[in-house]
Structure 1
Amino acid sequence: MLSVDYRAIDRRAVLSWATPDESAPWFDVIKRLILDSTEDAKQEAALTISLPWWNFIALRNRFGEVCAGYKLLPGSTLGISPEAADLLRQSRRATDGYQLAMQAQAVDEQQLRAKLRELGFARNLTEKQARNVSRIAALPAGATFSVPGAGKTTEALATFFYRASADERLLVIAPKNAFAAWDEQIKDCMPHLQTQFTRLRGGKEKIAKLLGDDPRWLLITYQQLARVPDLVAAHVAQHKTHVFLDESHRIKSGVGKQTARAALGLAHLPVGKLIMSGTPMPQDAEDLIPQFAFLYPEIPSNKDTVVELIKPVYVRTNKTELGLPPVDRVMVPLPMAPMQSELYKLMKFEVSREGATALNTRSKQAFRSLGRSVARLLQFVSNPALLSSEIAFAHPDLLAGVLAEGDGPKLKYVLKRARQLARDGHKVLIWSSFVRNVEYIAQRLADLGAVYIHGGVDAGDEDDDETREGKIKLFHDDPNVRIMVANPAAASEGVSLHRVCHHALYLDRTFNAAHYLQSEDRIHRFGLPLDQKTTIEIVECLDSVDETVRMRLGLKIGAMAEALEDSSLRPDPIALDPNDIEDYEEYSTGLSSDDIEALLKDFNRGQE
């Protein structure tokens, strides 16, 4: 007989059995299901396995299917303790939450504004913010997918204060670069509280001590949460807590990645949940599945159903509604240098062969290796000198010839164009996905006061010129600092440059649509006057991986626009005419299997 119990002292599900059960057909299946579900599952004794209760709840449907398939019946071959049965019933009731959410009526706007005023909420919600909060405040779990600059943080705080009772807490899981914004917003929205968020960091012992003080406002990064999931889950289980995921597309990988798995492990515990992202599906609809699972873990979804399932529970303010002037996107297509073109053909052939292998084997190792190879190809097209440090490079003589040609055509253009714009009085933002490019360009443009941001630049005091905030302040305030060079992986979130900078140059882009869209939004966001011209120049090499990147980004952004019913996401078509041109956490290209197939197709077309 298989027994399921709840152990209150450490909030774990405990499964036990008798020795004869080990020869039963269901035994190995259930044991493997439990042990594979979470790193926190463990065999405590010869006949006992335990795992955190919230992880067991997440397995409820699959566990039930296995039990039904092997005819494990409650009361005879399956024993469930009264404590476990009661908690399982609570989880089952949560399934009804989604049905209630679909039927929920938005909170009356006047009622919403009146209660917020009564609570001392100082910020006056815009028409669009009030519309959004009226909807998500009526839901047990919801999403705001508004574009950057629309005020998602204000919407989130208004939702919390409207819904929460005085004894309820707020835990925000966010990228580190968003922490300052949460402190700023809670001061602006609720100034009389004179409070700020407690940042959960500094290792397990320090975090345990911070949680022991039971602060009402908590901030933690996705990476830190993955290191202390048990501590945070136990705290949320013990206290009435709302959990908000800022930049929720960070969990799009689902249980396959530790950071996402830790966030999903909290899904059954909060009294209220909200996810927030301006780019909720950077690759395709599958990215929404883990985000929806966090909101309504009892409702199964797949790639074909998740868009319709999430529609009733999300709100969005798009760029059209914000009244932003359109972006002027300019494509700059350049031919490769002769030797660069020859070496590119060899590298392309090698990546093509590796890509075919990865698609056949479908192993994580093969895809990871291919991701590095595609990154190398993108690096080479942007700046051939980046390959000079590879001691074991397969074609050293040909590489030497390429390096003799000097800066690649894209880098030459970006450096020359940045100087021209700076001479004309403009501040310029230059994007590259590669750290060495970021630092090298900043060095080459040092006479223009160039500053840079990448993952190695720590957050800190804005009066410290070496911190991320200090560099942003210099770019904002110092007239001699004309250039900022940035990595989209590090600076595409939580940075606002639209008041001083209206021209961006892309030395390179990757397949990561979220990085691209959010990087554009650094200079094209709410607050721009209607007559302000914003120019984005995207530099590409002809007949290269750049063209596949452009095509795949267009498809991903188009799919997101369709799913979110937001035509403002679709970038204007960019005409290509060569005659117009005179002269970390680990790096990710955002590469999917569909991207690989498109890349191989483009490579093979070039060989026909």
Structure 2
Amino acid sequence: MAHLSLDNAGRLVLEAPFDDPRVGRALRGPLLAFVVVERTDNTIVLDKVENNVEAIDYLAATVGQVGMELTLGADLEAAVSSHAAERAQLEDARKDDHPTYSALPVPDFRPDVKLLPHQVRGVERALQVGNFAEFSVQGAGKTMTVLATFAHWRERGEVERLLVIGPLSSFQPWEDEVARCFIDQPKVLRWSGSGAIRTRMVPAYRRSDIVLCSYDTAWRDVQMLGQQLRATPTVLVLDESHYIKNFEIGARGAAALELAPHAAKRLILSGTPAPHSLLDLYSQFAFLWPGAKQDLVGTPQQYLTRLSRSPTPAADLRTSLGPFFHRTSQSELGLGEPTTHTERIPLSVVPPGQARVISLLENKLAVEARNLPTKMDRELLSQWRKARIVRLLQAASNPSLLSSAEDLPRDPRVTFDVSELSSLIAEFRDGSVRAAKIEWAVQKARELIAAGNKVLMWTWWVSNIHLLADVLEEFNPLLLYGQIKPYEDFDDPSEVSRERNIRDFKTRDDRPLLIANPSACAESISLHQVCHNAVYVDRTYNCGQFLQSLNRIHRIGLPKGAVTEYWIPVVDCAVERSVDRRLQQRQRTMYDLLGDDAPVLGIDWKEETVSVDSDDEAQAAFQDLVTELPG
């Protein structure tokens, strides 16, 4: 007899008579498929594996060859049962005759809180399918859809708790929506603080109805959270699920995939589920259906092959994954199309020093690209490309950025040397000359604020945030970027936080300007009630953050008669043309997948109008950029 169980760390523990020579010989080879972390006479501890059920099948067949039966511990018995049930559930969801559920009325919701028709549709689909993706456009009310779905499942006794993993900026919106929707307020807990504090918070976790956790904290606490998921039937939600989009499964994705099998229900939310490519979807749907992943998306290699062989991969994925996601487009929300103002700035009107810097860097890169060694370490080549993309983006935005190493690789072998440009850069660094887009954005902000508008300014560079804050100091601008703490400390009203700055921007007439970095707050923040103008000082190849940022001021609840306006200055140079083209291409791919008729936002370069999120994108962006270089 052999017995397989899980220890507290989630590792497989195999007990068998290994001292029997026949058994030892039979198992020695098959056990090479695992990493053995501990061994005693009759017990072997195997390191955690991606799929426990596949490991069970493999080990059961192995011990069966020597006439032994493999028994399972309670956790693994439950995993096998859950796996079988999930595969059956997946097949039921694909059928047209699956049971229907009514979303209305929503249990425990306030009578004056009404689901909109597209939210009703989303709730009913989630109740039918069980593990579901809500991919509606940003601002469609996905949070409320999840809360209503949770309320139904809780009333039916299928779950007791909701665990939301999302960016830090999502915590306050979740808390606000919970307070708005429920009659009897659920207990909401922010799972945050130091490791010691979180350990002491476990009793509070068990008393809570809704727990909010960041992706980074979930990665650190994967074992502790896994224990809580196993102890209490829970809906596990990934908010802004594109955070785990890395096809090679980064740390965030690995933590989410490890937690997924322990949840009673799973939901993912994103308005931009595939901001880079269709590969972004693999880990998200693997999280939704861990027990039926093979039936839905297959192995990573099978998924890659499937995409490469299809002449219409986006449409094909929409057909196969369509039963498991819901999308509400902007046109369905009846918001009205936003107005985009693009100011194309020819190099002939750019400050001469900036035009010279851009021209010299483009020519230097063209020479380097032609002479690039045919053999270079893959990681080194990726860093080499990123360094050059960053330097060209900096030159187009504000040449003073070239004097710092902000967002640059540290390896000296990939440095894009700009020391010969120091005299040209100096005039921008000391403020005697302003870069073209900085000057344009400053004048546009002053014009809009003078007309009584609040203004949201976006820039990817923290140095630009401080420069703009100094130049526009008469408006006492509020700032949002990563170094500012995310949470508000009510014990210290003088301390600055992103939460406090957002609230002040929304509520104070004397704070009409918010200058923000999309990395810190492109997601989960709603400003549409008070702000209808966004000025983009610069953009990068990061399509997800760009699309998310657009919808901070264009979403459900827009005041009647309000018109959302985007203001985008663009220098007519290689990197700016490349960024615009790549952003348009990636928008089209995602909209084709989702069946969305949204217009692709870009610049018509035929009309005279007055950072990189992955290694794959760095390669594609660089190849696109090279086509724009001289020579």
Q: Same fold (TM over 0.5)?
A: yes
Provide Cα deviations, 1:399-437, integer angstroms capped at 9, x if missing partner: 312433622211121112222222232222111111111
In the alignment, which residue of structure 1 is the partner of 2:455? 428
Map residues 285-364 of structure 1 onto 2, 5 A cutoff: 285-297=278-290, 298-300=292-294, 301=297, 302-303=303-304, 304=307, 306-334=317-345, 335=347, 336-348=350-362, 353=368, 363-364=378-379
Match of 1:384 in 2: 399
- The residue type paired with residue 200 of structure 1 is W
- Classify the secondary structure of the residue corresponding to 2:570: strand
Q: Following superposition of structure 1 onto structure 2, how do residues 129-144 of structure 1 map, counting pairs within 5 Å? A: 129-144=119-134
Write out per-residue CA displacement over residues 169-224 of structure 1, whole angstroms, 9 at most, x where no aligned residue.
Answer: 211111111111222222222132x3331121223333233224413321111000
Match of 2:411 in 1: none
How far residue 106 of structure 1 moved from its aligned partner, in angstroms, is 7.1
Question: Which residue number in structure 1 is paired with residue 417 of structure 2?
Answer: 394
Q: For residues 395-544 of structure 1, what are the structure 2 equivalents within 5 Å?
A: 395-404=418-427, 406-461=433-488, 466-529=496-559, 531-544=561-574
1:181 partner letter: P
SS at match of 2:137: coil
CA RMSD of aligned residues (A): 3.4
Structure 1 residues 525 and 601 mapped into 2: Cα distance closer, same or farther (>3 Å)? closer
The whole-number CA distance in structure 1 between the counterparts of 2:186 and 2:547 is 33
For 2:563 and 2:332, the matched residues in 1 are separated by: 18
* 1:97 matches 2:111: no
Give the distance between the partners of 1:191 and 1:175, measured in 2 at CA: 27
Contact 1:545 1:599 in 2 (8 A): no
- What is the match of residue 156 of structure 1? 146
Residues of 2 paired with 1:499 and 1:558: CA distance? 29
How far is the alpha carbon of 1:456 from its aligned partner?
Answer: 1.5
Deviations 1:440-498 (A, max 9, x none): 21121111222111111223349657221222233223333232111111111122222
How many Å apart are 1:256 and its aligned residue?
3.1
Partner of 1:585: none
Helix, strand or coil at the partner of 2:223: helix
**Pair 1:124 & 2:114 matched:** yes
* 2:574 and 2:628 in contact (8 A); partners too: no
**Who is 1:234 aligned against?**
227
Distance 1:130 1:196 in 2: 25
Question: Which stretch shifts more, 116-125 or 182-191?
Answer: 116-125
| Contact 2:11–2:45 (CA under 8 A) maintained in structure 1 | no
Return the letter of the residue paired with 1:100.
Answer: D
Equivalent position SS for 2:499: helix
| 3-state SS, counterpart of residue 549 of structure 1 | helix
Q: CA deviation at 1:292?
A: 0.2
What is the distance in 2 between the residues matched to 1:503 and 1:94?
46
- TM-score, normalization: structure 2? 0.83
Cα distance in 2 for residues equivalent to 1:78 and 1:593:
48
Q: Which moves more between the two structures, 195-204 or 11-20?
A: 11-20
From 180, 185, 188, the equivalent of 1:188 is 180
> Is the contact made by 2:109 and 2:181 (CA closer than 8 Å) also made in structure 1?
no
Equivalent residue of 1:455, what SS? coil
1:208 alignment counterpart:
199
Correspondence 1:549 to 2:579: yes
Q: Measure how far apart 1:153 and its partner are.
A: 0.8
Aligned to 2:313: none
Q: Tell me whether 1:374 sits opposite 2:389 in the alignment.
A: yes
Which 10-residue stretch deviates more, 12-21 or 245-254?
12-21
Structure 1 gaps of 5+ residues are 36-40, 582-587
For 2:82 and 2:554, locate their aligned partners in 1 and report how far apart those are by CA, in whole Å: 45
> Counterparts of 1:460 and 1:398 in 2: how far apart (Å)?
41
Q: CA deviation at 1:112?
A: 2.9
TM-score with structure 1 length normalisation? 0.86
* Deviation larger for 339-348 or 266-275: 339-348
Could you give the per-residue CA deviations for residues 151-179 of structure 1, whole angstroms, max 9, x where no partner exists? 11110011011112556221111111111
Question: Are the equivalent residues in 1 in contact too, given 2:363–2:630 (CA < 8 A)?
Answer: no
Offset at residue 595 of structure 1 (A): 5.0
Which deviates more from structure 2 when the two are superposed, residues 486-495 or residues 307-316? Answer: 307-316
- Unpaired runs of 5+ residues, structure 2, are 298-302, 308-315, 407-414
Match runs of 1:247-258 below 5 Å: 247-254=240-247, 256-258=249-251
* Alpha-carbon distance change, 260 to 354 in structure 1, aligned in 2, over 3 angstroms: farther
CA separation of 1:124 and 1:318: change in aligned 2, threshold 3 A: same
**What percentage of aligned pairs have identical amino acids?**
25
The CA deviation string for residues 243-286 of structure 1, in whole angstroms up to 9 with x for no partner, is 11111111111563112210110111111111111111111111
How far residue 541 of structure 1 moved from its aligned partner, in angstroms, is 1.7
Distance 1:254 1:520 in 2: 25
Change (3 A) 1:362 1:510: farther
Q: Which residue does 1:576 correspond to in 2?
A: 605
Q: 1:572 to 1:491 in 2, by over 3 A?
A: closer
Q: Give me the whole-angstrom Cα distance separating, in 2, the residues matched to 1:531 and 1:7.
A: 59
Distance 1:311 1:145 in 2: 11
3-state DSSP of counterpart to 1:266 = helix
C-alpha separation in 2, matches of 1:347 and 1:293: 43
Is the alpha carbon distance of 1:393 and 1:245 closer, same or farther for their aligned partners in structure 2, counting shifts above 3 Å?
A: closer
Change (3 A) 1:186 1:362: farther
Deviation at 1:132, TM superposition (A): 1.2
Q: Distance in 2 between matches of 1:100 and 1:508?
A: 47
Residue 254 of structure 2 corresponds to residue 243 of structure 1: no
The corresponding residue for 2:310 is none
User: Corresponding residue for 2:409?
Assistant: none
Distance 1:359 1:590 in 2: 25
Q: 1:7 matched to which residue of 2?
A: 6
Are residue 170 (structure 1) and residue 184 (structure 2) matched?
A: no
Partners of 2:10 and 2:619 lie apart in 1 by 44
- Structure 1 227/354 Cα, relative in aligned 2: closer, same or farther at 3 Å? farther
CA shift in 2, pair 1:11/1:448, >3 Å: closer
Aligned pair partner of 1:222 in 206, 215, 228: 215
Cα deviation code 1:493-541 (max 9, x no counterpart) = 1222222222211111111111001101111111224632222122222
Count of aligned pairs between the two proteins: 585
Cα drift, residue 350 of structure 1: 6.1
SS of 1:112's equivalent in the other structure is: coil
Tell whether the 8 Å contact from 2:164 to 2:238 is kept in structure 1 after alignment: yes
Q: SS where residue 129 of structure 1 aligns? A: helix
